[in-house]
Amino acid sequence: MVPSLGINSKIEKSKPISPLALFLIKAGGVYAAWQFLYNLVFLPDGRLDTFLSLSGVNLAGSLLALLGWEVEVSGRIITCIGEKGVEIQNGCNGLNLLGLYGGFIIAYPGPWTKRSLFLMIGLFVLFIANILRIAFFAVFNANLPQYFDIAHNYSSYVFFYPIVLLFWYLWTVISDENDILIPG
Amino acid sequence: MDCYQRRERHFNSWLKLIFSLGSFCLLYLFLIRPIQSILVADLVVPALKSYTEAEPDFEIVAIQDDFWIESHSNRFMDLFINLPFNGYFWLTATILWALKKKIILKVIVYYNLALFVIHPVLIFILLNKNYWIAPWISAHEMVYKSLFLSLGVLVLKEGLSRKNDIEIRMR
């Protein structure tokens, strides 16, 4: 015998996914995809890493020369003449931070034209920050080589993370979207 | 609540947040991170090295508060793993605590506790020559850390802009 539905039976409606859950799923997907792409394609290939390292070193060299420093650039190595040089390896070129920045901007809701523009501006600012960081390393190593490890260890907290977090925050404001933690 | 009280409350929220973030920076950089670096260098890496003694393909090195696993035969590259309750947790937890988002704070604490199981399992699978898992470990590291930071920024934006600090209702 099939039980009949009474008048007071509650019919469960399928609830739409919350904006926060949707954001977390999208962001998780973007970050995972980026990391797989990086580990399986970009890292073994090495060209993108090499490009970022070499261009960073060259531009940092030009910047320091412009500011009156005597520097020598040779491949990945930047040296203030007469002092110890600094080698920019692939893990040190900020590529992972670019992925970290991009994932949030892509996943957080907002109009795509604004998003693309904001993404490009942020990536460019991070690239510039990396150039400043490399220039800082070269000058720091020339003057205080005994403290270089400390400067290297903590440099991301000064040059990268504040920019990433600030740009994320700005995007949540600029995107003109409703709050996603507590919608409405 | 009148306009003056609202403004005062808003100002107090910012003040508490700035004080909390300042305390976080000092505690993390001068206490938590050095302790984690010591734990990685003196406890985790030696344990992993002794486990892989018979397997020369793996190189395991402590790099600050990360440990780095590399395959000499290039089966995978540059695998960095952090201990649970690392800087990404503490930064987010500080923001959540300052803005009283207790439910999300609980979620990230539980996830970090779960990492005490997740990490050893994943590393055990990898060190038993299941190289396919290396990109998954790397992706997991990236995803959970990024999501923690993202949650921190969302709470920061929405917590400070709200007049009434209502706790989140998770669906």
- B158 interaction partners in chain A (CB closer than 8 Å): 172, 179-182
Cβ of A35 within 8 Å of Cβ of B143? The answer is yes
- B78 interaction partners in chain A (CB closer than 8 Å): 39, 43, 91
- The ipTM assigned to this model is 0.85
Cβ of B146 within 8 Å of Cβ of A100? The answer is yes
Cβ of A20 within 8 Å of Cβ of B154? The answer is yes
Q: Does A6 contact B at CB distance below 8 Å?
A: no
The shortest C-alpha distance from B60 to chain A (Å) reads: 16
pLDDT digits (tens, 9 = 90+) for B91-112: 999 999 888 889 999 999 999 9
* pLDDT confidence of residue A1: 46
Q: What is the dihedral of CA B105, B108, B109, B111, to 10 degrees?
A: 160
* pLDDT confidence of residue A28: 96
- What type of residue is B85? F
Other CB atoms closer than 10 Å to residue A31's CB: what's the count?
A: 27
**Order of strands across the sheet with B58-63?**
B58-63, B66-71, B79-82
How many CB contacts within 8 angstroms connect chain A with chain B? 92
- A164 interaction partners in chain B (CB closer than 8 Å): 149
Grade residue B54 by pLDDT with cuts at 50, 70 and 90: confident
Other CB atoms closer than 10 Å to residue A41's CB: what's the count?
A: 10
**Helices H, strands E: what count in chain A?**
7, 3
Percent residues over pLDDT 70 in chain B: 92
Cβ of B142 within 8 Å of Cβ of A34? The answer is yes
Reading the block at residue B44, the tokens are: 């985790």
Nearest CA to B161 out of A17, A111, A180, A114 is that of A180
Q: Does A42 contact B at CB distance below 8 Å?
A: no
Least CB–CB distance from B154: residue in A21, A44, A181: A181
pLDDT digits (tens, 9 = 90+) for A126-169: 999 999 999 999 999 999 989 988 888 888 888 898 999 999 99
The single-letter DSSP state of residue A165 is H
Cβ of A35 within 8 Å of Cβ of B142? The answer is yes
- B64 interaction partners in chain A (CB closer than 8 Å): 153
Residue A39's Cα: distance from chain center in Å? 16
CA separation (Å) from B67 to A53, B85, B125?
Answer: 23, 15, 16
Cβ of A35 within 8 Å of Cβ of B138? The answer is yes
* pLDDT confidence of residue A180: 75
Q: Does A150 contact B at CB distance below 8 Å?
A: no
* pLDDT confidence of residue A24: 94
Reading phi first (left if > 0) and then psi (alpha if -120 to 50, else beta), residue A5 is in beta
Compute the distance between CA of residue A87 and CA of residue A84 in angstroms, rounded to an integer: 10
Q: Does A184 contact B at CB distance below 8 Å?
A: no
Cβ of B153 within 8 Å of Cβ of A31? The answer is no
pLDDT greater than 90 at residue A119: yes
pLDDT digits (tens, 9 = 90+) for B108-152: 999 999 999 999 999 999 999 899 999 999 999 999 999 999 999
* pLDDT confidence of residue B76: 86
CA angle B149, B152, B157 (to 5 degrees): 130
Reading the block at residue A49, the tokens are: 């890493």
- B166 interaction partners in chain A (CB closer than 8 Å): 182
* DSSP state letters, chain B: --HHHHHHHHHHHHHHHHHHHHHHHHHIIIIIHHHHHHHIIIIIHHHHHHHTTT-TTEEEEEETTEEEEEETT-SS--EEEEPSS-HHHHHHHHHHHHTT-HHHHHHHHHHHHHHHHHHHHHHHHHHTT-GGGHHHHHHHHHHHHHHHHHHHHHHHHHHHH-SS-PPP---
Compute the distance between CA of residue A98 and CA of residue A122 in angstroms, rounded to an integer: 9
Q: Does B108 contact A at CB distance below 8 Å?
A: no
**If contacts are CB pairs under 8 Å, which of residues 40-69 in chain B contact chain A?**
64
* pLDDT confidence of residue A164: 94
